[in-house]
Each structure stands twice: as structure tokens, then as C-alpha cells.
Structure 1
Amino acid sequence: MPMDFLRRIEKEQLPLTVTDPLGIRNVAVLTSAGLVEAILPQESEAFDLPGVVLRITPSGRVELQRIRDKSA
């Protein structure tokens, strides 16, 4: 799930290389939502190429805080 992935990468050293297909899909969703900035393989490229999360955007940080507030 993309939001679980966002929570997981919050504490990671960025840029973060993502190699598994599910992780790359999560990064694509988060990028589309404006929550992270990333470099993703293009559709014409092989699926085994990695994606790279460059940063969590300010909107992503707001969403992470919203998740924390909701679970408290």
C-alpha cells in the first residue's frame, strides 16, 4: 500500500533506490499524488530497472503527520 510505503521510507536515507516491482509501483503512485519526488523507469524500459526516491515533498510530510495524528 503506498501510504505504508511512505511511512516506511520516512526514516530512510534519501535518495533511496527501490528495486522491487511493488515498491516501484508504490513510488509511482506517491509521485503522482505529489507526495514524493522520484526518478522512475519509463514504460518502454525494462521492469527490472530501479526507481530512486529523491525526497519526500512538503505535501508528503503533511500527509505523514496526518497519519500520525489519526493513529494517536
Structure 2
Amino acid sequence: MPYELLERLRCARLPARIVDDSEIGKLEILRTAGLVEADLPLTHQVRGGQSYIGNAIVMRVTPSGHVAAKARSGER
């Protein structure tokens, strides 16, 4: 779930390196939604889908990202 990653990033020391393809996919969703600022690696086609070439770097969780994570967790 992308929101679980967002919550982890919210508490992480940034910039953070993301190496797992499934996490990078979630990060791509969060970046598209404007919840994080991140550099994503290039992709290449593999049988049945795509794979990332390299790592992603998360620079920051945006103010909207903090609000979304707090709302999701029920935090005030």
C-alpha cells in the first residue's frame, strides 16, 4: 500500500534511497499524487511488465504528504 510507504518516509531520515522495485512503484504513485518529491530511475521492459534500472531517491515528503499520512493514521 502506498500509504504505508508514505508513513515510513514521513518518519525517515531524508534523503532516502529506495531499492525495491515494488516500493519504487508505490513511490511513483506517491510522487504523481504530489505527496513526495523523488527522483525515480528509468524503467525497462521485462517479460510480463517493467523493471527499474537503479534506485529511487526520496528528497522530501511534501506538506500534502504529511497531511495525507496524518489523516490516514487518524493523527491530529
Is TM > 0.5 for Structure 1 vs Structure 2? yes
Higher strand share: 2
Unaligned runs of 5+ in 2: 45-50
**SS state at 2:38 partner:** strand
TM-score (norm 2): 0.81
| Residue 33 (structure 1) aligns with | 33
Q: Distance between the aligned counterparts of 1:24 and 1:68, measured in 2?
A: 22
The Cα shift of 1:17 comes to: 0.3
Q: Distance between the aligned counterparts of 1:48 and 1:41, measured in 2?
A: 6
| Residue 47 (structure 1) aligns with | 52
**SS state at 1:14 partner:** coil
Kindly provide the amino acid, as one letter, of the partner of residue 68 in structure 1: S
- From the CA coordinates, give the structure whose radius of gyration is larger: 2
Aligned with 2:65 (options 51, 60, 66): 60
Deviates more, 1:28-37 or 1:7-16: 7-16
TM-score (norm 1): 0.85
| Residue 15 (structure 1) aligns with | 15
Equivalent pairs: percent with the same residue? 34
4+ residue segments displaced more than 2 Å? none
The Cα shift of 1:8 comes to: 1.5
